[in-house]
Structure 1
Amino acid sequence: MLDQRRRTVLKRGTAVASLGLSTAGCLNSLAGSGDLEALSVAYVPIYPNMHHYVMTVEGLYDDVSADVTPERFASGPDVVKAFAGDEIDVAFFGVTPAMVLVDREKAAGVLTANSSEGFHVMGTSAFADLYNERGRDAFSRFESREGRKPRIGAAPDGSVPDVVLRYWIERDLDLGERESVVSKSTVPPARTPQAMASGDLDATMIQEPYATAIGDGDSDFQSVAWSGDVFSDHPVTVMFAQVRVLEATDLARELVSAHLEATEFIREHPETAAEHASAIIGSGMSDERAAAAMESKAANFYTDPYRIADPTERIARYAADVGNTDAVVSNEELFHFDAYDAVSE
């Protein structure tokens, strides 16, 4: 049934004319369907890249006309560097690194959304209780009581969780510059539960399934805030492609079609999708924990790039305000809607 529908979508998509694209501030309409025989797809083994795991295990990449080779990277910065150097064709990574590349005149575009509202602020019970009682005043009260600022862990500067953390403190809570309020440590997501348990952090802006892992059955740690309440509908990761992929019109549509199929699979078979993620991510992630994380409101997976268009504009303005980009990156520069338009009609 999935195979039949997938091929129907592809057939319908290839019959629709391309609508054009803008990238890197001066993208003209893309024409033609240049062929690529091989396609490298990069990913970091994190939960928000759920679509890639489903596309891999369920064979959805088989309907892509190019020979797809997944390439695993240890960190987001490593993927961004490889993408900037034209070493990979397609990448699953955060929307803010994609903005930075486009701001630096990289000819590339976002084909699909992957996930949104994907983080929890998890805190020690001491910090969480204080926040629940005092709200925004919890930070100053904590500093007065402990003689130091709260220590909060997050991914590297410029990453989506880093930007959302800064937004939470500076805009949502209106506490001033983040550096004056908290001590931020760069901690990889997989190491965060251990850092919390060892007392190295008071709180963290963290994705699933690590938020579930930190709070699972442990009264010493609690959820302080959900990023969807901090910055509604904010995107997390996207499927980002080099301009050579976007110019290969049929190939771009095939990728989007496979991504749509993955979204359908995730919604209809969430536990199996979680098992696929667990199998590829590894690093001690159990099937049970991956499946439990699917129940979290921080587990939101879909394809439609239009769904993240408005919040992406808000992130772009904020990214420029705090100096992550030199200028506000527009949706016209960042997104390639044509392929989604073609296969979703």
Structure 2
Amino acid sequence: MDLGKPKKSGVQSGTASATRRRFLKAGGVATASGLAGCGSVLGGSGLETLSVAYKPIFPFLQFLVMDERDALSDIDPSVEATNFANQGLNIVSAYSDGDVDVAFVGITPAIRMKHEGIPGKVTAANQTGGFAVVTSEEFAALYDEHGADAFAEFRARHGRRFRFSTFPKGSVAYVLLRQWLDEELGVGADGVEVENMAGLGPVRRSLLSGNADGTLIMEPIPTVLDARDAPFRRITRAGAFMSDSPGGVMFMHDRVRDDHPEVANAVVREHVNATELITERPAEAARAVSSAFGDRLSRDLAEQAVRSPLSSYVSDPRAIVDGTEVCIERMRALGQLSDPVGTDEIFDPSVYRDVTS
């Protein structure tokens, strides 16, 4: 199977604000409920531009590979990829408003979108695992000795609760952290303090500054900390306490899946190709990652993170269905969902089956 070609000219790219202005100019932003069952807001029955939203992070590694290798450049319609990192808009909000056709998001935002009746489904997974619990070396030693009781021991020694910094409450990282603390360890909300922060940078800075004692975080941070001999240690990983734990996914609008199946197939096919490249030629995948991260991540560290045992990169959405059910249960326990959401509402494996059969 063709694993892609080196990047030549690149798909169109733009800022989040530019994307929204383009859609407003094209005829207004539709509401989420108004999009259900309607044709594309991109121009009646035709799909003039396929809008893809992403952030340059490891849970969306397949898109970084596709983008770096121009894998979507031959798709008709043209593809406009928007990097939402450090922008004023949120991918889920832009998708819900009708600005986005394909969104690379975490599984928990995808669950919430389906809970709210927003049209679209997960047509490809990106990974299982991918997250590690990283703590100070002091606490790691306590955990080795006391297990779950290490949190009480830490509080007795320091006169305060152990402090985690992690992503916002609706994020995959937060839900996984609470699953580990509440269900796996039985520590509960009163046993620790959890500070929710917006973005990889603030979480990393909180950890390195000593503001936090630990975090649950994805690559490349665990690899970078190890490489720099930082005084932190991984004490567990998501795959150890949740089988087939989900991370990032590709969420595709119904208007693409239903009205333009040839486009849907082409995008998922390139996703499958990207997954094969990541698993079979990680050094080439690392080039895409390093390019996306810039000076923040060397090629060598990027390759180490791509090869990390934390993650298993996949495309088949069925690979994360069981883990998603666990996330749904935890989100309900946390009060993030008022009603249950069935995985058949979230996933559409038919496109993947079509392109791999």
TM-score normalised by L of structure 2: 0.84
Displacement of 1:281: 2.7
Displaced runs of 4 or more, over 4 A: none
Aligned partner of 1:308 in structure 2 is 320
| Matched residue type, 1:71 | T
Match status 1:203 vs 2:195: no
Match status 1:229 vs 2:240: yes
Displacement of 1:200: 1.1
For the residues of structure 2 that align with 1:261 and 1:55, how far apart are their CA atoms? 9
Aligned partner of 2:104 in structure 1 is 92
Q: Matched residue of 1:2: which SS? A: coil
Displacement of 1:104: 0.5
Q: Is the 8 A contact 1:112 1:238 kept in 2?
A: yes
Uncovered stretches (5+) of structure 2, i.e. residues with no partner: 6-32, 40-44
Q: 5 Å matches for 1:100-179?
A: 100-176=112-188, 178=189
Displacement of 1:266: 1.0
Q: Is the 8 A contact 2:106 2:171 kept in 1?
A: yes
Q: Matched residue of 2:313: which SS? A: coil
Q: Matched residue of 2:311: which SS? A: coil
For the residues of structure 1 that align with 2:287 and 2:91, how far apart are their CA atoms? 24
Aligned partner of 2:23 in structure 1 is none
CA separation of 1:204/1:221 partners in 2, compared to 1, >3 Å: closer, same or farther? same
Q: Matched residue of 2:307: which SS? A: coil
For the residues of structure 2 that align with 1:241 and 1:227, how far apart are their CA atoms? 26
Q: 5 Å matches for 1:60-75?
A: 60-74=71-85
CA separation of 1:3/1:162 partners in 2, compared to 1, >3 Å: closer, same or farther? closer
Displacement of 1:320: 1.9
Match status 1:275 vs 2:287: yes
| Matched residue type, 2:85 | A
Q: Is the 8 A contact 2:123 2:251 kept in 1?
A: yes
Match status 1:183 vs 2:193: yes
| Matched residue type, 1:305 | P
Aligned partner of 1:253 in structure 2 is 265
For the residues of structure 1 that align with 2:343 and 2:180, how far apart are their CA atoms? 23
For the residues of structure 1 that align with 2:313 and 2:267, how far apart are their CA atoms? 16
CA deviation vs aligned residue, 1:278-328 (integer Å, no higher than 9, x gap): 211336122121111123211321101111112212222222222211222
CA separation of 1:261/1:99 partners in 2, compared to 1, >3 Å: closer, same or farther? same
TM-score normalised by L of structure 1: 0.87
CA deviation vs aligned residue, 1:56-97 (integer Å, no higher than 9, x gap): 111211242221111011269811111111111111110110
Q: Which has the higher contact order (CA 8 A, sep 6+)?
A: 1
For the residues of structure 2 that align with 1:327 and 1:83, how far apart are their CA atoms? 22
Q: Is the 8 A contact 1:119 1:161 kept in 2?
A: yes
For the residues of structure 2 that align with 1:259 and 1:74, how far apart are their CA atoms? 21
Displacement of 1:49: 0.8
For the residues of structure 2 that align with 1:283 and 1:4, how far apart are their CA atoms? 25
Uncovered stretches (5+) of structure 1, i.e. residues with no partner: 6-23
